Structure formats: structure tokens, C-alpha cells
Structure 1
Amino acid sequence: MARLAWRGLRPPTPDEWEHDCGAGATTLFRWGDEYPDGEPYGDVPLIQQPNFFGLVIGDDPYRAEFTTDPSVLCGGDGGSALCGGSGAFLSWVTLATAYRDPTLAEVVYDGSLVGETPLRPVLPLP
């Protein structure tokens, strides 16, 4: 975080992350309220295409992203729903723009999954 701050960057707030992921969408997912059959794993063009802001974000249920709030990771659940057998719907919900997983944040800050948890830098504008 110190290196980001030195460059004038920071992680997004949870609300900024949600806004960036949804790109103005008022639906459950950035592409709408429906989800395809099956699970969000592997080559699924729907989730791997850029949103209306041109961002590829919230595209992998295994990969959550850091925010300015240490208790909030956005964009996935570390694969818990997918690997835990929660079913297709709950696996897709982890990619909803408003999805937040405080339990995963505890695991990451305890030292697990750190190398798999990206940080999307934000340049604040005056």
C-alpha cells in the first residue's frame, strides 16, 4: 500500500469497485439479472468480456480484489461456493457487482491466498 501511495495511487473503495464493476448497470450482474447454465468456471465469454467501462472485472469467482476497507474484498469468494458444492446460482452470485465476502477477507489477511488476491490501483482525480 505504501508503494501505491508513493505513486499517488490507492485501492478502490468498496463502493468504487462496485461502480466500476457494474459500469452503470442497475442489475444483479454487470451484464443483467440472468446467469448462464452451468458454473462460472473456465472459458465463459460472458464474464471474460470487458464491461461498458472497458474493464475486465469481477470475472473469476476464485479471485477477489482488495479495497480500501480491509474487511471487504470484492469480485469473488476464493472459489468457496464453486468448490464447496453450493450450486450454480451461489457460484454466480459471487460475481454480482455488490457481492462482498468478509469471511474471505479474514482468510486473506491471515496470510492465505495473498498471491491470488489482486489490487486494482485507482488514481484519485482532484
Structure 2
Amino acid sequence: MLKISAAYPQFKFLNLSKFTCGEHSFETGIFDFEGSEFVFIPGDEPELGWDDFAVLDENSAKEIKKQCDFCPEDQSLREFIARQTSPLRHAKIPAMLAERKPAELSWYEVDLSDERLKIYAGEMEDFLCGKDKDISEMTVWSTIKLIREDGKIRAFLFDDVTHEELEANLRKNGFSLPSQDEWEYLAGCGARTLWRFGDELGPDKVALPHVNQPKNPEFSLFEPNLFGLFIAFDPYPVELVSAPIYFKGGDGGSAFCGGASLFECLLPVSPFYAMSKEMRNDYLEFLHDGDIDNAIYRRIFRLE
């Protein structure tokens, strides 16, 4: 790890940390770049994509299908999932430093005294002590976001950033967006199950977003994965990757808003979930027009 810091002095080595997922553990180095943590990911040649369940048996699959709202009667659950996941393939992943937590695209924090916030004085007063004082986060017209955190109020303004502009800005410091292959490997950590914790959701055993939480979960999507990354944890945000895929890790909450089953709602946080071409084109249009406020991204730094 010290050799990495010596070769790339912009990254300061902090410590070695061990992360676990079930019976598996992984120890790696944590680095700092201007206040953001990165983890060292060794290169590998994993199998990626999805074509069948790794551990789920046929009877369990049939029971899950009965709960699905949008799985056609003439399709098996396996066929239904295969249509929404990337194809099975082998990939070559380079060694890299990957950002642990994603950043929000287009939102940037400003001081509460910023002159540009004056036109939102009414909304801010409602959030501080009025009708919205009990909520933790509020977005107004996709232009200002207010967050209540640790007893303090944080304000963010929105500025349109295209995919091309983001990539150009990242390249200035040697960073990139992950490719589809790299992102799937970062999210799944080499696991062949549909999600990193298995082929079934098990809300009584797994802490999942937007549902009641179990008291003593065996796994949690809110915790870092085996590589120490906070990734593929919520279907509402979409995470940017390089072209031509552009988006991974979510569907913008479409399934949740459409009244789908829990299995269908959380399929988008599978490492192998792939947006339909139609949805991808819609999101590209939203991104181009500055109409997307739920996009996130993480930087990777490929090691030579």
C-alpha cells in the first residue's frame, strides 16, 4: 500500500481495513484524496452478468414468481430476470482505487447565508421551524435541496452537468467513471448470486431500503460491501458509469412507484441489473436537459 502512495502521492495511505459479507472477509488499504476515502481493489478476471440462480431452488423461485406483479405467466422467474440483467461474460478488471461513497451529480453545497438562497426564504423557514420541520430532506423545484443532519441544516443548489462534462472534469485529475464491467465487479465483489447477500431478499434477515427493518439483520444493504464500498444500496438513485451503458444501480424508483412486488422493486440494486434501452434513453434525455436530480457517481483511479 505504501508503494501506491509513493507512486501516486496525491493519495495518502490511511490504514488497512477488513470488510465482511456473510462468511467472507476482505482486507484492503484505505486511502485519502482531498477528504474522500478510496479503497484499493486488486485486478481480477471475474465472471460477470447473470443467467441463472446460484443457490435458489426451483420451488422457491416459483413461490417468488407468485408474488411478482409484472412477471408474465408464460415466463419463468429466471427468464423474467434474465431480460433485465446483463449477459454472462468473462471480464478483465484492472487494479484500481475506488471511491467508497458516491457523490451526487449537479448538487453542490452552499452556506446558509448565500445570497442565492434568499428567493427560497419561505421554503427554508418552513423547513427550519414551520410545516416541514419534521422531515429530514426537502427538494424544491429541483433547484435547492435542504438536509437536516445532526441538528444542523445543509443547503445545496443544483447546476446542470452532462455526462460528457463530468467525464472531462474527472480526467483532469486522472479519474474515470467505472465501466459496466468494473461497476458490476465493484458492486458484486465476485459473487455469483443475484444480490451480494444471496438470491432471495429475506426482509426478516436483510436490512433493505424503503421497508420495515429487521431487529437483528444478518446482512444490510446500508453497510459497505465486501470491498468496503457503499454501492448498489437504493433503487432510487442511478449511478453513472461510462458509455454506452451510462447508468447502473437503480431505476429511479420506477418499480416502487409502479406498485411492484418487493423482489421486483429491489432487482435494480442487483450488480447485474441492466436498464432497458427505452429507460436508458429517457434518462439520457433527462440528464442532457438537466432534469435529473437523483444521479450519483463515484471516481475510480486505475493503477498502471
Calculate the TM-score normalised by the size of structure 1: 0.88
**Alpha-carbon contact 2:177-2:298 (below 8 Å) kept:** yes
What residue number does 1:83 align with? 257
Question: Over aligned residue pairs, what C-alpha RMSD do you find?
Answer: 2.1
Q: Distance in 1 between matches of 2:279 and 2:252?
A: 7
**Alpha-carbon contact 2:239-2:247 (below 8 Å) kept:** yes
Are 2:281 and 1:103 aligned?
Answer: no
Identity of aligned residues (%): 34
What residue number does 2:294 align with? 116
Other structure's SS at 1:115 match? coil
Aligned residues: 126
1:42 deviates by 5.5
| Gap runs ≥5 in structure 1 | none
Are 2:178 and 1:12 aligned?
Answer: yes
Q: Distance in 2 between matches of 1:27 and 1:63?
A: 22
Q: Distance in 1 between matches of 2:268 and 2:172?
A: 32
Q: Distance in 2 between matches of 1:121 and 1:43?
A: 32
What residue number does 2:193 align with? 27
Are 2:237 and 1:63 aligned?
Answer: yes
In structure 1, what residue type is equivalent to 2:262?
Answer: A
Cα deviation digits, residues 8-48 of structure 1 (max 9, x gap):
11100011100000012111101111102397416757211
Are 2:247 and 1:73 aligned?
Answer: yes
- Going by fraction, where is helix more abundant, 1 or 2? 1
| Gap runs ≥5 in structure 2 | 1-166, 214-218
In structure 2, what residue type is equivalent to 1:111?
Answer: F
Q: Which shifted more, 39-48 or 75-84?
A: 39-48
1:89 deviates by 1.2
**Alpha-carbon contact 2:180-2:245 (below 8 Å) kept:** no
- The runs of at least 4 aligned residues of structure 1 exceeding 3 Å deviation read 37-40, 42-45
Q: Distance in 1 between matches of 2:222 and 2:199?
A: 17
In structure 1, what residue type is equivalent to 2:268?
Answer: T
- Going by fraction, where is strand more abundant, 1 or 2? 2
Q: Distance in 1 between matches of 2:194 and 2:244?
A: 24
Greater relative CO (CA pairs within 8 A, separation 6+): 1
Q: Distance in 2 between matches of 1:58 and 1:123?
A: 20
Q: Distance in 2 between matches of 1:34 and 1:50?
A: 19
Q: Which shifted more, 86-95 or 64-73?
A: 64-73
Other structure's SS at 2:265 match? helix
Calculate the TM-score normalised by the size of structure 2: 0.39
**Alpha-carbon contact 1:71-1:106 (below 8 Å) kept:** no
1:91 deviates by 0.7
**Alpha-carbon contact 1:40-1:91 (below 8 Å) kept:** no
Q: Which shifted more, 95-104 or 2-11?
A: 95-104
1:72 deviates by 3.8
